[in-house]
Every structure is written in C-alpha cells, then in structure tokens.
C-alpha cells in the first residue's frame, strides 16, 4: 500500500520557461497520483570516442521514444536487465541518426579509440494510484 509520504513523480507538462525569472525556483510540480517505485529505466547514454577529453568525439545514444510510448513499463532498468533484443536505440552522431537494436552495440569501452560511456540518463518508473475510496462509516454497527 502506498502512502502520501512516498515520493511522487514530476509532472511531464511542467514548463520551466513559463516560470517568471524574478521568482525563486520552488521545484517541479508533482503529480499526486503517481508514485516512484525505486526502479529506473535507462533512457540515454553519452559516449566519448578518443584518447583524451580534449581530443575525440561525443555521441548520444537514446532509446527510441516512439517505441517507448507503445510499452512504457518495459525497458532497461538501472542494471541493464529488462532490455529486449528488439529495443530500438538511436545513435546521434553530429548530423546523422542511425537506428540500432539493443545488444548490437558495445558501450563498455576500455579501448582508447572506442566508445566509453561518460553520462547515463535514467527515468524513474512510476506507478499510478487512484485515490482510495473512503471506508464505510462504522457507526451504528455493534458487536
């Protein structure tokens, strides 16, 4: 059972640009019907390819949002488990975008001129909970 003390998820429609510049930032608006599960899905990976940070190339790999919208509760979690071989990922390399299937690319690095993951972006998995209906009044009910 989830309680109000549990973490709630950020609303997707929050627009930071609509907030006044003169007001202090108060945090993101929260959706009171969504609660964090403590599980996360890998959404994007930024890799560096090169021998030094000053020389090389950065590439972004992102899970295909069109596929994510079809099955929002499935996908890689923080351990990489749950990744289906059919998951489509997009590689953004300057002005070219290429589709890859999960498992067909290696981001482990360890070689000087190969992709080394430098930034991993996750999305919290949430569960939607409708407000509980009030319990029937116990007055008038005797032992």
Q: What is the pLDDT of residues 110-119, one digit of tens each?
A: 666 778 888 9
pLDDT: which is higher, 28 or 98: 98
3-state secondary structure of 38: strand
* Rounded Cα gap, residues 112 and 82, in angstroms: 29
The three-class DSSP label of residue 18 is helix
Q: Give the mean pLDDT of the chain.
A: 69
Question: Does pTM surpass 0.75?
Answer: no
What is the dihedral angle through the alpha carbons of 118, 120, 49, 113, rounded to the nearest 10 degrees? Answer: 80
Q: What is the mean pLDDT of residues 84-93?
A: 80
CA–CA distance, 29 with 11 (Å, rounded to integer): 6
Domain ranges of the chain: 40-122
Q: What pLDDT score does 109 carry?
A: 57
Cβ(117)–Cβ(45) below 8 Å: yes
């Amino acid at each position: 059972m989830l309680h109000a003390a549990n973490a709630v998820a950020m609303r997707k429609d929050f627009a930071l640009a609509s907030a006044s510049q003169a007001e202090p930032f108060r945090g993101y608006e929260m959706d009171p019907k969504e609660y964090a599960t403590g599980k996360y899905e890998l959404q994007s990976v930024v890799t560096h390819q090169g021998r030094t940070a000053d020389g090389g190339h950065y590439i972004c790999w992102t899970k295909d949002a069109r596929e994510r919208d079809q099955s929002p509760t499935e996908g890689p979690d923080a351990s990489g488990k749950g990744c289906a071989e059919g998951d489509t990922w997009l590689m953004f390399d300057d002005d070219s975008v290429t589709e890859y299937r999960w498992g067909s690319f290696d981001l482990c690095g360890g070689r000087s001129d190969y992709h080394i993951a430098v930034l991993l972006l996750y999305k919290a998995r949430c569960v939607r909970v409708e407000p509980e209906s009030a319990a029937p009044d116990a007055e008038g009910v005797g032992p």
